[in-house]
Amino acid sequence: MADPRVLVAGATGFAGALAARIVHRHPALELARITARGDIGARLDSIYPRHRVPLALEELDLGDLDGFDAAIVAYPHGAAAPVVAALRGQGIPVVDLSADFRLRDLSTYGEWYGDHGAPELVDEAAYGLTELNRAAVAEAGVVANPGCYPTATLLALAPLARAGIVKSAVVDAKSGVSGAGKGGADYSQVAENVKPYGVDGHRHLPEIEQELHAMGATGPLTFIPHLLPLDQGLLASCYVELSRPLDAEELRGLYEGLYGSEAFVELVSDPPGVADVFESNYCRIHPRLEWGGERAIVFAAIDNLWKGAAGQAVQNLNLMLGLDEESGLT
């Protein structure tokens, strides 16, 4: 049987280009077409030599979607929704990398991104934080791939949140500049600097809150992202006020219970650096206790373009297509 044929729409951004590379090298998928809104005709390997994807970029024709078995959409927020809708109209399973289907509440979506282009699809979309939502992803027609900050933060906090013991939390997050997208960071502003940003509200915050609340964490959350002079990598340092004290064994039990058999979550005994997970789909997590067990500190490190975007997208696609979840990612 032929490998499923995958369309990557929006392949010139960082995440889309990486998605194209991962699909291209995937042993059980065929990269059928890559499209973009510019650079039509250029080969992707002329723009991203390192990814070595020899296909040429084409225009996306929503009237000609025959022959695709699945799609990864890496369009900007707002622009993705109509593309996803067209693909769903042809019954094509889609992983969407934008924020368009992440927020259940359309008014919250509207505050950050404006009018929604396909509100009718929001309810059927599964939130694609694979480890926390595997069953729904496997059944979904549309998967809303999480943002990079929510991925690290939610994986860090889920064992505590699901246990109902998160009273409040402070997330001090540190991200490399590729998270800002192509052209998002001027070298001279970033090098030899570190700076908090988005302190009056970051658009990833409602996404984190929505999912944490769904897990049972109802207290206040502070989320402060910082921009760092590195390209790929994201570290979430999470400081959690617990509603009851834990001991080390309980803490370990909670994390091993949830992640003990996960392929892409590594529980480690020392704080991780983002270099440990560079160019990989792994999330490294180190939980620890302070103040006699009344507070937990949890560090989670990911590569923002892999587990925080394109890698997790393929992980979700594998599930949707009935393939081995790890296929093409190790």
How many other C-beta atoms lie within 10 A of the C-beta of residue 200? 5
Binding site for a second copy (CB under 8 A): 14, 49-50, 52, 168, 170, 172, 174, 176-178, 182-197, 199, 220, 222, 224, 226, 228-233, 235, 237, 239, 271-280, 284, 288, 290-291, 295, 297, 299
Beta carbon of residue 220, minimum distance to a second copy (angstroms, whole number): 5
Measured from the CB atom, is 123 or 192 closer to a second copy?
192
Residue 126 is encoded by which pair of tokens? 């599964």
List all residues 6 or more positions away from 61 whose beta carbon is below 8 Å from its beta carbon: none
Measured from the CB atom, is 127 or 299 closer to a second copy?
299
Beta carbon of residue 64, minimum distance to a second copy (angstroms, whole number): 32
Measured from the CB atom, is 37 or 288 closer to a second copy?
288
Beta carbon of residue 288, minimum distance to a second copy (angstroms, whole number): 7
Beta carbon of residue 54, minimum distance to a second copy (angstroms, whole number): 12
- Neighbour-count burial of 232, counting CB atoms closer than 10 A to its CB (0-12 exposed, 13-18 middle, 19+ buried): buried
Question: Do residues 195 and 226 make contact, with C-beta atoms less than 8 angstroms apart?
Answer: yes
From the candidates 148, 221, 298, 329, give the one annotated as an active-site residue. 148
List all residues 6 or more positions away from 241 whose beta carbon is below 8 Å from its beta carbon: 166, 167, 168, 169, 219, 294, 295
Residue 10's Cβ-side half-sphere holds a number of Cα atoms within 13 Å equal to: 23
Q: Is 148 a residue of the active site?
A: yes
How far apart, in Å, are the Cα atoms of 99 and each of 74, 85, 119, 128, 143?
10, 14, 13, 11, 11
Q: What residue type is 3 in one-letter code?
A: D
Residue closest to 306 by CA, chosen among 15, 51, 23, 38: 15
Measured from the CB atom, is 141 or 293 closer to a second copy?
293
- The whole-angstrom separation of Cα 320 and Cα 135 is 10
Measured from the CB atom, is 281 or 315 closer to a second copy?
281
Beta carbon of residue 130, minimum distance to a second copy (angstroms, whole number): 20
Measured from the CB atom, is 57 or 274 closer to a second copy?
274
Question: Do residues 238 and 222 make contact, with C-beta atoms less than 8 angstroms apart?
Answer: no
Catalytically annotated residues? 148
